[in-house]
A and B are shown apart, each in its own frame.
Chain A
Amino acid sequence: MSALLKSREAILALAIALLLVVIASRFPAFVTPGNLASVFTDTSPLILLALGQMVVILTKCIDLSVTANLALCGMIAALMNGAGVPLPLILLLVVALGAVLGAVNGLLVWKLDIPSIVVTLGTMTIYRGIIFLLTDGKWVNAHQMSEGFKAFPRAVFLGLPVMAWIAILGIVAFVLLVNRTPLGRAFYAVGGNPHAAVYTGISVGRTQFAAFVLSGALAGFVGYLWVARYAVAYVDIASGFELDVVAACVIGGIAIAGGAGSVAGCVMGALFLGIMKNALPVVGISPFWQMAISGAAILIAIAFNARGSGPKGRLILKTPEVRA
């Protein structure tokens, strides 16, 4: 029982349950299955981006350019749609473009050894700048997008919108990736102890590169989903959202120093934020308090995580010292 309570995932699940109970006491309709499904759908982009961010953070890096990548790929998806490119091809191309943008980050980190926070801070601005150059800052609006382009993420399949299914698919794929493949284990090895990883024959740089490509490809795909869902594309879409993505990972117990964390934790971290974002407007809390509440929730979650992580090493000299 106490071991269960110490696991981050269990604490987080408890926190989410508690959050839902509190919300239900003020706005019962929030916890109906239909509404919870729509909250999950709304949180899908955050879940997908957080999964990509998770593998990057596991390798001791951080990707601040995810949402700039998202915005650029989303804009290009909207522009291609305007030019009459068929949807399957658009999906393929945005994923490829996202991967390339991620690879740029990865190469700079790998080959030039620049700290990832600096690299992605730079590319974040560059990617947003490219959108501006492409469009002169003009918007692509709902009526300039084809019906099929907007309908795909909304199409209902077995009771859930496609967008939610994509998130579920992403979660399953990531569980398999990090637990069952050599690359997945390498993410942990590189972040946990880079020196030891090198001795076992894992290239630290190459693994970090792979993490960035993965995160970029996901961001590219979410770019399409985002633009199709909100039916608008402009330079500033999802600006500031990268902080939510990192926050979801941190709340989910992904160690910012790398090497520790689970897909379940990451998904629950994203869900926690997603529920919060969706619930605050309906529970009648003053908007002036909303940001403070979100911030407090992040700090509390991190405090729990820090306590749960326990001592880092073994104190081998303590006993003799006490004797002396």
Chain B
Amino acid sequence: MSILKKALTTAALASVLLAGAAQAETKRIAIVVKALGIGFFDAAAKGAEEAAKELGDVEIIYTGPTDTTAEGQIEVINSLIAQKVDAIAISANDTDALVPALQKAMERGITVISWDSGVAKDGRLMHLNPSSSPLIGNTIIKLAADHLPEGGEVAVLSATSTSTNQNVWIEEMTKVLPNYPNITVVGTVYGDDLADKSYREAQGLMQTYPNLKAIIAPTSVGIVAAAQAVTDAGKVGQINVTGLGLPSEMAGHVKSGASQSFAIWNPIDLGYAATMIAYNLNTGKATAEPGAEIPMGRMGTAKLDENGEAAMADPFTYDASNIDQFSSIF
């Protein structure tokens, strides 16, 4: 590991020196997010800045629409094409709707990759998953099962019924269910990533399934709303809320006991890795083809599968023991 790190640092340094000697032209890499003002993406931008500092000749353009729509992102992409950026790394609001705009960008020589939430294969060179979907699917059910030694009923509170991410994770979770014979998943409801609707759906779950032992919410709005609904219903200790959330948003609910533990990957690492990949593809240090291994600086390498997708790392579990440490970061 340390040898690899050293080698990479040397490579990075060398590239900085080379770039500095050849031409002082900086690479402009646009980090396009689902919407501005989401803590998760702000943290990713921090990681991108970290990568830029490490690479030296990179300027990060952190941008995105003000609400989570594909239309808004298309406008952003068009303006980035007009600005002639070198690379676009996007977390997409829609799998297919962005493809034409991104193809236009690629025709003009812009390196396009997607990260976090993917675009269809035709619209990007490669996609960086924060983790592998099977791993996340397994993690969210394991988080619930770990606190239910005797098993019981659990339910899923998702975002919208059309969210690419959530649907894939839930599908993968269903695949590994046979490994948890005592756990019964009684239903999946959709809170549309709205605090009030998620709260109401969580209340509905508690009413419909009186023996419910856990609510799995693989969405940051949903997990907070479900934890609040469980607290208000006086069922802390009886129903464990878990899933994917942000430490800063979940700190209170972990301390109150409404949530025993939850998971998330490190968005800082994700923004860092996406920037590294975009840079390496743009400078020709790596090519995006099935089986290729693209270096991601301190995060190791990303190995592409036949769909041009790669996984960064395992999701990380947060609980009462480490929540304070991370809640101040993101």
Seen from chain A, the residues whose Cβ lies within 8 Å of a Cβ on chain B are 27, 29-30, 35, 38, 42, 128-129, 132, 135-139, 141-144, 154, 226, 230-232, 234-241, 277-278, 280-282, 284, 287-288
- Determine if B204 and A143 form an interchain contact, defined as CB atoms under 8 angstroms apart: no
A256 to B188 Cα, complex, angstroms: 38
Q: SS class of chain B's interface: helix, strand, loop or mixed?
A: helix
Report the contact-size class of chain B (Cβ under 8 Å from the partner): 20 to 34
Judge if B253 is at the interface, Cβ distance under 8 Å: yes
A138 to B251 Cα, complex, angstroms: 15
A279: nearest chain-B partner, CB-CB: B204
A42 to B232 Cα, complex, angstroms: 12
Judge if B255 is at the interface, Cβ distance under 8 Å: yes
- With A236-B67, A287-B189, A287-B190 already in contact, the answer to whether A278 and B200 are too (CB < 8 A) is yes
- With A132-B66, A137-B42, A236-B67 already in contact, the answer to whether A281 and B224 are too (CB < 8 A) is no
- With A138-B39, A240-B194, A287-B190 already in contact, the answer to whether A231 and B228 are too (CB < 8 A) is yes
Apart from A138-B42, A282-B208: 19 A-B pairs, beta carbons within 8 A: A27-B208, A132-B36, A135-B37, A137-B36, A137-B39, A139-B248, A142-B224, A143-B255, A230-B199, A231-B224, A231-B252, A237-B195, A239-B194, A277-B200, A278-B203, A281-B189, A282-B204, A282-B207, A287-B189
Other-chain residue from B37, B207, B249, B255 in contact with A132 (beta carbon distance below 8 A) = B37
B41: nearest chain-A partner, CB-CB: A137
- Chain A contacts of B189 at CB under 8 A? 281, 287
Judge if B205 is at the interface, Cβ distance under 8 Å: yes
Judge if B225 is at the interface, Cβ distance under 8 Å: yes
- With A132-B66, A141-B252, A235-B37 already in contact, the answer to whether A278 and B204 are too (CB < 8 A) is yes
- Chain A contacts of B293 at CB under 8 A? none
B202: nearest chain-A partner, CB-CB: A281
Other-chain residue from A241, A282, A288 in contact with B196 (beta carbon distance below 8 A) = A241
Within B16-52, the residues touching A (CB, 8 Å) are 36-39, 42
- Determine if A141 and B224 form an interchain contact, defined as CB atoms under 8 angstroms apart: yes
A226 to B67 Cα, complex, angstroms: 21
- Chain B contacts of A237 at CB under 8 A? 195
- Determine if A284 and B252 form an interchain contact, defined as CB atoms under 8 angstroms apart: no
Other-chain residue from A29, A141, A231, A284 in contact with B248 (beta carbon distance below 8 A) = A141
In order of increasing CB-CB distance, the 7 nearest A-B pairs are A137-B37, A143-B252, A281-B204, A142-B252, A230-B195, A287-B190, A282-B204
